[in-house]
Amino acid sequence: MIGTAARVGVFTESVIREMTRLAAEHGGVNLAQGFPDFPAPAELLEAAARALREGYNQYAITWGAPNFRRALAEKARWFNGIAVDPERNITVTCGATEAMMATLLATVNPGEEVIVFEPFYENYGPDAKLSGAVPRFVPIRLEPGFPFDPDQVRAAVTPKTRAIVVNTPHNPTGKVFSRPELEFIAGLCHQHDLLAITDEVYEHIIYDGLAHTTLAALPGMLERTVIVNSLSKSYSVTGWRVGWTIAPAAIADGIRKVHDFLTVGAAAPLQEAGVTALGFPRRYYTDLAAMYQRKRDTLLGILQEAGFACLAPSGAYYIICDITPLGYDDDYEFTMHLIREVGVAPVPGSSFFHDPASGRHYVRFAFPKREETFDEVRSRLRRLRPRSRATSAPALQPAPRPSVSRPAASGPAAAGRRGRSRR
């Protein structure tokens, strides 16, 4: 019998996509997948339609339309505080997902190690495994501020370590890495000759007066950092799949080679429209953050009223909640109950950990939603009732899982068994 390659056996379909499917099947409100249910800016949509009408329908240059790369370089200058050459440093990709995959394939040899903060965005495990890398996990503590222990990061560095992945603002916690934390990471990169790979797709979605710091802007880091970013989150176009990397020229050359043979190029008319997005006035980004802060506060209030113990995010658009106050100690059992009986879909917290047991008491909710959606969620969650511990499933006999194939083992190797997700 002809089967599949071994490499696809180390991960499964995304848990997030499974929750989206189950939400649709049961008529649930989808707070699992991180996409807005409101339209993108009208100017951006018109720019895309205009680009189609004006004939931007053939291949752009493989590594990105020149005017789009110039606009990216200008925005990197005024917002990120870095000077980059659009001809040598920028590669336009099919979303941040391809940008991360192309970066790992271009920079990490099989058997080399990549440090990843945990909980982590689902893609990082499969990306590492497909590229032949070995992920090494460092925990972020699920408490206010989401701190990590610098000694644990130091201990994760070995002679095989090649890179460290930093996602700030962070999915799924909403942690915003502080400048001192980034300076510590920069020091490790210099000390051990490491590459930093920074996922900054939520750079404009940040709250409470905090500011985004780009690791590449710290002294000596521009030449040892690859920035991964996209249009998806800042401009509410998650389906466009237009992303990019900013990298030192030698690394950019490698990323461009991989990108060329992975996807050839991102959609030409959407790159043209992206020039309009990148030219939005700076007030746009202030208003965007203020809008999402209001949405964060609204959903936080709804979830707390329903009995969840929530950790307030400082960035991105997700809320991590502890389900134990509601009498549950199994994230999958609770998620299936919430979808089937209440009609609201979160993501089980275990999908963000290499050892599922570490996330068993948590779920993640996404809040890029309309006020009408929040009203419906509030109404539905009023049907949620805490249950007594006496009726909870025994800890050693977890409830049946949904149809997603789950990893049978824990530990670093198990991370690769997480499937790709759409944030």
The band of 311, judged by pLDDT with boundaries at 50, 70 and 90, is: very high
One domain, residues 226 and 300: no
What mean pLDDT is predicted for residues 122-128? 88
**Which CATH number characterizes residue 266's domain?**
3.40.640.10
- Distance between CA atoms of residues 232 and 117, nearest Å: 22
pLDDT of residue 264: 96
Q: Look at residues 243, 278, 313 and tell me which one is the last residue of a structural domain.
A: 278
**In the predicted model, is pLDDT for residue 19 greater than 50?**
yes
Q: Look at residues 220, 247, 278 and tell me which one is the last residue of a structural domain.
A: 278
Domain encompassing residue 225: 42-278
pLDDT of residue 18: 83
pLDDT of residue 110: 96
**Which of 33-37, 172-176, 185-189, 226-230 is predicted least confidently?**
33-37
One domain, residues 350 and 300: yes
Are 184 and 139 within 8 A, CB to CB?
Answer: no
**In the predicted model, is pLDDT for residue 254 greater than 90?**
yes
Is 234 inside a domain boundary? yes
One domain, residues 157 and 22: no
**In the predicted model, is pLDDT for residue 399 greater than 50?**
no
Is 147 inside a domain boundary? yes
What mean pLDDT is predicted for residues 198-227? 98
| DSSP per-residue string spanning 63-91 | T--HHHHHHHHHHIIIII-----TTTTEE
One domain, residues 22 and 152: no
**In the predicted model, is pLDDT for residue 412 greater than 50?**
no
Which residues have a Cβ under 8 Å from the Cβ of 9 and sit 6 or more positions away? none
Q: Find where tokens 């939603």 sit.
A: 369
**Which of 25-34, 75-84, 390-399 is predicted least confidently?**
390-399
Q: What's the total number of domains in the chain?
A: 2
**Which CATH number characterizes residue 310's domain?**
3.90.1150.10
**Which of 9-18, 219-228, 358-367 is predicted least confidently?**
9-18
Helix (H, G, I), strand (E, B) or coil at 319: strand
Of the candidates 73, 64, 91, the one whose C-alpha atom is nearest the C-alpha of residue 254 is 91
Q: Look at residues 235, 260, 278 and tell me which one is the last residue of a structural domain.
A: 278
Q: What angle do CA 316, 319, 321 make, to 5 degrees?
A: 155
Is 377 inside a domain boundary? yes
As beta bridge partners, residue 117 has 138
Is 86 inside a domain boundary? yes
Which residues have a Cβ under 8 Å from the Cβ of 316 and sit 6 or more positions away? 169, 170, 171, 172, 173, 174, 202, 205
Is 422 inside a domain boundary? no
One domain, residues 245 and 297: no
Q: How many CB atoms lie within 10 A of CB 159?
A: 7
One domain, residues 206 and 333: no
pLDDT of residue 406: 37
One domain, residues 266 and 318: no
Is 195 inside a domain boundary? yes
The band of 385, judged by pLDDT with boundaries at 50, 70 and 90, is: very high
One domain, residues 210 and 327: no
pLDDT of residue 22: 84
Question: Can you give the pTM of this predicted structure?
Answer: 0.91
pLDDT digits (tens, 9 = 90+) for 316-366: 999 999 999 999 999 999 999 999 999 999 999 999 999 999 999 999 999
Residue of 52 and 397 predicted with greater confidence? 52
**In the predicted model, is pLDDT for residue 275 greater than 80?**
yes
Is 132 inside a domain boundary? yes
One domain, residues 289 and 245: no
Is 406 inside a domain boundary? no
The band of 400, judged by pLDDT with boundaries at 50, 70 and 90, is: very low
**Which of 6-10, 156-160, 319-323 is predicted least confidently?**
6-10
What mean pLDDT is predicted for residues 133-162? 97
pLDDT of residue 389: 61
One domain, residues 296 and 353: yes
The band of 413, judged by pLDDT with boundaries at 50, 70 and 90, is: very low
What mean pLDDT is predicted for residues 83-89? 98
**In the predicted model, is pLDDT for residue 415 greater than 90?**
no
One domain, residues 92 and 31: no
One domain, residues 214 and 346: no
- Mean pLDDT computed over every residue of the chain: 91
